[in-house]
Every structure is written in structure tokens, then in C-alpha cells.
């Protein structure tokens, strides 16, 4: 799989589009976690880490794909509504846009930070306009680890959005991260489940 500009391959973009069209839940052990308001969240245990990876499918009413993508990409807006953001910004590194994100964790846990690349593309798939955003952790010397902050080195996310044919958006998202440190996997999984 040869990476395109931005570190992602054409195949990775096409895989996200394919999941939007036909959810790939048969490969692996995906289990329905919750279904609410037209959104279904599935999870699957990652055997290497003992943590779950997630797939989200559904329709968001009265929100266009272009607006939803803009909101998702807007780091300044994220800082307004997300109380756990300590620091969040983009920086150009070797021709790629790299995001630095420090997340506040409650005492006695240490804050986590992410260094990741992300790329947004608009694809035409058989006449369907699909917005795709891919992100994954990276290592850049311009972002050295900070004392007292644990670096999240395993992070991956895919997002595909298209019109639902009305005023809303059909959405697919894949998400996995390993926050590292000394947080037991059962506690992370419990918190992610919503208790």
C-alpha cells in the first residue's frame, strides 16, 4: 500500500468510503454496543492491547456533509466546546500538517498528548460525493515528549460522510487509541462504554 501525499494511500481513502456504503462487520468479532437516535456503535477487542476499537454508523439529521466535515476539522471550535483540551494546534512538518493535542486527565492520572497527521479529501464514488478524513499517530522530532505527559503512540481514526439524500448526513467512523501509561484496560473499556 503506497502512501499518497499526506501519508495516506488511495486505498485507505477508498476503504473508508466502502464502509460507508456497506459496513464491514463480518470480518472480526464486532459487537453492537449501543444504538440510539439513528446511530449504531460497534466495538471489537484488539487482542494485542486488550482495548476496544470502535465503528460508528448512522445518519445525522439536519446537518450537511460539508458543514459536518468543517466542524470536525475546526480545531479552534474544538477548543471552545471540549473542556478536556489543554493544548491543540496544527504545524507544518516536512510538507505534512501535523496536529498536536494535549488532553487533560483527572488527578491522579497524567495528561495524554497526541501527535498525528490527518488528511481530508472529497471523493467522487460512482457519482456520490464523499468527504473522508483520515488520521493516525506519527512521530515528529518537532514534538518532543513533555515531562509528566504520556504520549499516545497508537491512534487511528477514519471518517466518511455523504448526504443522506435529504438535509442530513450518512456517517461512518472508525476509532482506536491506546492511552498508554498505567490505566488498566478494564477501566478504559468501562469508561468508554459509558459505565
Confidence of residue 8 (pLDDT cuts 50, 70, 90): very high
pLDDT at 183 over 80: no
- 24 membership: H or E segment, kind and range: none
- Please enumerate in sequence order all residues whose Cβ is within 8 A of that of 176, keeping only pairs 6 or more positions apart, or say none: 46, 51, 52, 53, 54, 154, 155, 156, 157
What's the CA gap between 43 and 190, in Å, rounded?
A: 13
Average pLDDT estimate for 14-26: 91
pLDDT at 194 over 80: no
Average pLDDT estimate for 63-89: 95
* pLDDT of 107: 77
What is the percent of the chain where pLDDT is above 90? 75
What does pLDDT average to over the chain?
90
Instruction: Determine if the pTM surpasses 0.95.
Output: no
For residues 108 and 169, which has the higher predicted lDDT (pLDDT)? Answer: 169
Amino acid at each position: 500500500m503506497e502512501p499518497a501525499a499526506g501519508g495516506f494511500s488511495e486505498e485507505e481513502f477508498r476503504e473508508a468510503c466502502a464502509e460507508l456504503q456497506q459496513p464491514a462487520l463480518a470480518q472480526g468479532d464486532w459487537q453492537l454496543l449501543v444504538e440510539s437516535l439513528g446511530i449504531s456503535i460497534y466495538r471489537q477487542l484488539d487482542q494485542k492491547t486488550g482495548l476496544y476499537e470502535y465503528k460508528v454508523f448512522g445518519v445525522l439529521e439536519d446537518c450537511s456533509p460539508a458543514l459536518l466535515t468543517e466542524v470536525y476539522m475546526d480545531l479552534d471550535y474544538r477548543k471552545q466546546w471540549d473542556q478536556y483540551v489543554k493544548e491543540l494546534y496544527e504545524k507544518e512538518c516536512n510538507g505534512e500538517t501535523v496536529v498536536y493535542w494535549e488532553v487533560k486527565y483527572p488527578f491522579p492520572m497524567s495528561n495524554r498528548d497526541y501527535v498525528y497527521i490527518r488528511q481530508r479529501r472529497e471523493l467522487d464514488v460512482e457519482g456520490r460525493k464523499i468527504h473522508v478524513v483520515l488520521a493516525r499517530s506519527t512521530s515528529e522530532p518537532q514534538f518532543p515528549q513533555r515531562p509528566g505527559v504520556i504520549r499516545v503512540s497508537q491512534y487511528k481514526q477514519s471518517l466518511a460522510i455523504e448526504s443522506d439524500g435529504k438535509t442530513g448526513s450518512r456517517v461512518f467512523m472508525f476509532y482506536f487509541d491506546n492511552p498508554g501509561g498505567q490505566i488498566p484496560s478494564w477501566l478504559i473499556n468501562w469508561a468508554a462504554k459509558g459505565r
